[in-house]
A and B are shown apart, each in its own frame.
Chain A
Amino acid sequence: MEKKQTVPLYKKILNPIICVLLGLAFSAIFIIISGFDPLTVFAKMISYSFLNSMGLYGSINGALPLMFCGLSVALAFRMKLNNIGAEGQFAIGAVLGGWFALYGPSLPAPFGLIVMFLLCALGGGLWAAIAAALKAYWKINETIVTLMFNYIALLFLDYLCYGPWMAPKQTTAITPLIPDSMYLPGLGGTSSALILAVVIALLLQFYLQRTTGGYQISVIRDSSQSATYAGISVKRFIFIVFILSGALAGLAGFVKVTGILHRVQAQLPGGAGYTGIVVAYLSQFNPLVVILVAILFGGLQNSCAAVQIMGVPSQIATMIQGTIMIFVIAGEFLNHYKISFYREDGMEVPEQ
């Protein structure tokens, strides 16, 4: 197994498309076994999730938190920081912002939203800063820390939603509605959070590609020793990147609460922090591509219902999603690594 040095652009674009098609072909076998026509099923998936306004809005609404979690993970991974904690940062962002929306002073329309935006970012950022400090000062593995902190954050959110924040007369763990003035304006059937996501992705792209900070991040990624030698403070960047990454995940809480749900709920992130990791990988950590891949994922999740209505068992519907994901991830891997065979005498067999 060797890492390829460069991957040509056409391969980067073509590869995921081929892999999606292979994934579909593989799922088709199971669809046929369960007695349905795969082409009809795929056509229904696409037409339901993307080719009509209602489905497209549903896909985008599902994608909004994924976009922010994807951006969060992509930024951290740009510096080879494994931020597995988007789920928890999302939750803490929602806790801090939700607290303000539910119990804070009521401010005139845009200011309330701005304060909440900042608080959600702050919540996620501070939560991630703990992992950053442990990593920067004691070299404690950030993967474990961020993962474990997810449980703490989610349980704290659950405690609030089952306890002091729970709406009166509700049987489930959900808070009352936040005030109208804290709703993000709608955009068709979705939310203007989409514009926010695109703007933030553009800013992130600019930061990573056009600023000194972005350049220094890429130097640290390639070799933190060379970066230190060049006078870049790696510790400082661990903090910057982790806090920004956490803030982005915290903003997922902002869009979910102000743009979609208008309440805070137990288990609010619902796994978006983890799906965000897959979204970031598939986008090759490119912020703008994250937005598109997130929408694809939102649509894929959305299509599950439409496929079931045709009578396809829910297990097969979920399996189609999983298969496409696995094929794309495997394809990504093979895009960057090649498998070489060695003869017993140590000579490499030339590639055909």
Chain B
Amino acid sequence: MKKKLISILLVVAMAAMLLTGCSGNSGNQTKDTAKAKLDYSNIKIGEITSLVVNDGGWCQATHQSLLAAMKELGIPEENLKVIENVAEDQVSVTNAYNALASEGVNLIVGASAGYATFLSELAGKNSNIIVAQQGDQVPNLIGYQIRNYEGMFLAGYACALMSPTDTLGFAASMSEASVRGAINGYALGAKYANPNAKVKLVWANSWYDVDIETQSAKTLINQGIKYMGMEASSPAIPQTCQENGAYCIGYNVDMKDLAPKAVLFSYMWNFAPIYKDIITSVVEGKADTSKYYYEGGECANISAFNEAIVPKDVQDKVLQVKADLASGKIKVFGGELKDNKGNILVPAGQTMSDDKINTQQFLVENVIGSF
């Protein structure tokens, strides 16, 4: 009986707290930062990441880009507040957003595509805070994305030049538009080097899983594949390649040191130019939230070549293709382009729209696999 009484009392107490909460100032608790003159010394930036910022992968690439942009603009590092390990879930993202808002940040960078839906909903709550996030276009939110398929085109091109067979591999993480973009970019690059090149695709169905990624690499190697691309975050694939005499293109950050005998070069996300532009616009009070950054070139960067294993002529050819991509001579998603079910995606003489590229739901003709 006593126990029950205590339970009831506690429930009543909770209810009372809740009701007092209702009458209080619910919603935003932002400090009045907008009124003070914003400059590069006092702008506060928040970053939300799905793993830790030194994960050796995606989060590290994002974080380093942000730090590089801040350094270039002379923003002290302590002006960056990072919340790590935030799940791609509405409650967790809201909580991180609120925590940063209560710190009075002026800009929040969402470092995972999985936050798009939630940050798009939250961005409207608070006109003092600009959100930079890959994804939707809504008030207070600046969208950005990198044309990763350009860097991946170079990856596929290099692998196909070096591979003794026509079949290459690709180890992918989760089926998401930019990941499909990476696979397609790789396959089209391979085809550019060798019209008969085919790409066998394996999925990990996880953004980061050492065991499954090891299995992905082994599956490909066991089928006689020597060269593979990857869109996976852990060091597992380069290391498995090295152990088995296979080769791969690193991903996210320069992975050469992880597997010096296997990594030809790495695809590296470089968000720094985009972040620099966004931060500048926030400081100057000119943030244009109708803008959507969709950048290639230096943003879809590749690391220096691994001189020990990439022949000089391959290096030269890759750099030539890189220049041709930048000049527009090569259009990755130019017609005629078919998917691997035989449908024509782009007729000859035309190019796919950015909108379609950015939300792609297909795999190109020479990809063996599905999503």
Which of A's residues lie within 8 Å of B, judged by CB? Answer: 9, 12-13, 48, 50, 52-58, 60-62, 162, 169-174, 187-190, 194, 198, 260-261, 263, 265, 267, 270, 286, 288-289, 291-292, 295, 301-302, 304-306, 308-309, 314-315, 318
Q: A291-B11, A305-B83, A309-B83 in contact; A172/B95 too (CB < 8 A)?
A: no
Q: How many angstroms between the C-alpha atoms of A315 and B55 in the bound complex?
A: 13
The verdict on B321 contacting chain A, using a C-beta distance below 8 Å, is no
Q: Which residues of B contact A198 (CB under 8 A)?
A: 11
15 A-B pairs with C-beta separation under 8 A? A50-B17, A52-B21, A52-B29, A54-B29, A56-B18, A61-B94, A188-B26, A189-B26, A194-B18, A286-B7, A288-B10, A305-B83, A305-B98, A306-B99, A309-B99
Q: In whole Å, how far is A128's beta carbon from the nearest beta carbon of chain B?
A: 24
Report whether B8 and A288 are in contact in the complex, using a CB–CB cutoff of 8 Å: yes
What is the chain A residue whose CB lies nearest that of B101?
A54
The verdict on B320 contacting chain A, using a C-beta distance below 8 Å, is no
Q: A54-B26, A170-B116, A270-B87 in contact; A62/B81 too (CB < 8 A)?
A: no
Report whether B22 and A318 are in contact in the complex, using a CB–CB cutoff of 8 Å: no
With A52-B24, A189-B21, A291-B14 given, name 20 new contacts (CB 8 A). A53-B25, A54-B98, A58-B94, A60-B18, A61-B94, A170-B117, A170-B359, A171-B116, A171-B177, A171-B359, A172-B113, A187-B22, A188-B22, A188-B26, A289-B7, A292-B7, A305-B86, A309-B81, A309-B99, A314-B84
Q: Which residues of A contact B100 (CB under 8 A)?
A: 305, 309
Report whether B6 and A13 are in contact in the complex, using a CB–CB cutoff of 8 Å: yes
Q: How many angstroms between the C-alpha atoms of A50 and B21 in the bound complex?
A: 10
Q: How many angstroms between the C-alpha atoms of A221 and B167 in the bound complex?
A: 61
Report whether B99 and A48 are in contact in the complex, using a CB–CB cutoff of 8 Å: yes
Report whether B14 and A292 are in contact in the complex, using a CB–CB cutoff of 8 Å: yes
The verdict on B148 contacting chain A, using a C-beta distance below 8 Å, is no
Q: How many angstroms between the C-alpha atoms of A62 and B98 in the bound complex?
A: 14
Q: How many angstroms between the C-alpha atoms of A188 and B176 in the bound complex?
A: 35
The verdict on B156 contacting chain A, using a C-beta distance below 8 Å, is no
The verdict on B52 contacting chain A, using a C-beta distance below 8 Å, is yes
What is the chain B residue whose CB lies nearest that of A53?
B21
The verdict on B96 contacting chain A, using a C-beta distance below 8 Å, is yes
The verdict on B286 contacting chain A, using a C-beta distance below 8 Å, is no
Q: Which residues of A contact B11 (CB under 8 A)?
A: 198, 288, 291-292
Contact of A318 among B17, B85, B92, B135 (CB under 8 A): B85
Report whether A9 and B113 are in contact in the complex, using a CB–CB cutoff of 8 Å: no
The verdict on B233 contacting chain A, using a C-beta distance below 8 Å, is no
Report whether B94 and A172 are in contact in the complex, using a CB–CB cutoff of 8 Å: no
Cross-chain pair count, CB within 8 angstroms: 121
Q: How many angstroms between the C-alpha atoms of A48 and B102 in the bound complex?
A: 10
Q: How many angstroms between the C-alpha atoms of A187 and B15 in the bound complex?
A: 11
Interface residues in B, total, Cβ within 8 A:
53
Q: Which residues of B contact A301 (CB under 8 A)?
A: 92
The verdict on B3 contacting chain A, using a C-beta distance below 8 Å, is yes
Q: How many angstroms between the C-alpha atoms of A302 and B81 in the bound complex?
A: 17
The verdict on B91 contacting chain A, using a C-beta distance below 8 Å, is yes
Q: How many angstroms between the C-alpha atoms of A304 and B26 in the bound complex?
A: 21
Q: Which residues of A contact B358 (CB under 8 A)?
A: 171
Q: A54-B26, A263-B117, A305-B95 in contact; A288/B7 too (CB < 8 A)?
A: yes
Report whether A53 and B7 are in contact in the complex, using a CB–CB cutoff of 8 Å: no
Q: Which residues of A contact B29 (CB under 8 A)?
A: 52, 54
A289, A292, A314 pick with most chain B CB within 10 angstroms: A314
Report whether A58 and B24 are in contact in the complex, using a CB–CB cutoff of 8 Å: no
Q: Which residues of A contact B4 (CB under 8 A)?
A: 288
Report whether A53 and B24 are in contact in the complex, using a CB–CB cutoff of 8 Å: yes
Q: Which residues of A contact B209 (CB under 8 A)?
A: none
Q: Which residues of B contact A306 (CB under 8 A)?
A: 99
The verdict on B184 contacting chain A, using a C-beta distance below 8 Å, is no
Report whether A62 and B91 are in contact in the complex, using a CB–CB cutoff of 8 Å: yes
Q: Which residues of B contact A53 (CB under 8 A)?
A: 20-22, 24-26
Report whether A188 and B81 are in contact in the complex, using a CB–CB cutoff of 8 Å: no
What is the chain A residue whose CB lies nearest that of B145?
A171
Q: Which residues of A contact B103 (CB under 8 A)?
A: 309
What is the chain A residue whose CB lies nearest that of B6?
A13
Q: How many angstroms between the C-alpha atoms of A194 and B18 in the bound complex?
A: 10
Report whether B89 and A270 are in contact in the complex, using a CB–CB cutoff of 8 Å: yes
Q: Which residues of B contact A52 (CB under 8 A)?
A: 21, 24, 29
Q: How many angstroms between the C-alpha atoms of A53 and B95 in the bound complex?
A: 12
Q: A188-B18, A309-B100 in contact; A172/B88 too (CB < 8 A)?
A: yes
Contact of A314 among B18, B85, B117 (CB under 8 A): B85
Q: In whole Å, how far is A40's beta carbon from the nearest beta carbon of chain B?
A: 15
What is the chain B residue whose CB lies nearest that of A56?
B21
Contact of A9 among B3, B82, B95 (CB under 8 A): B3
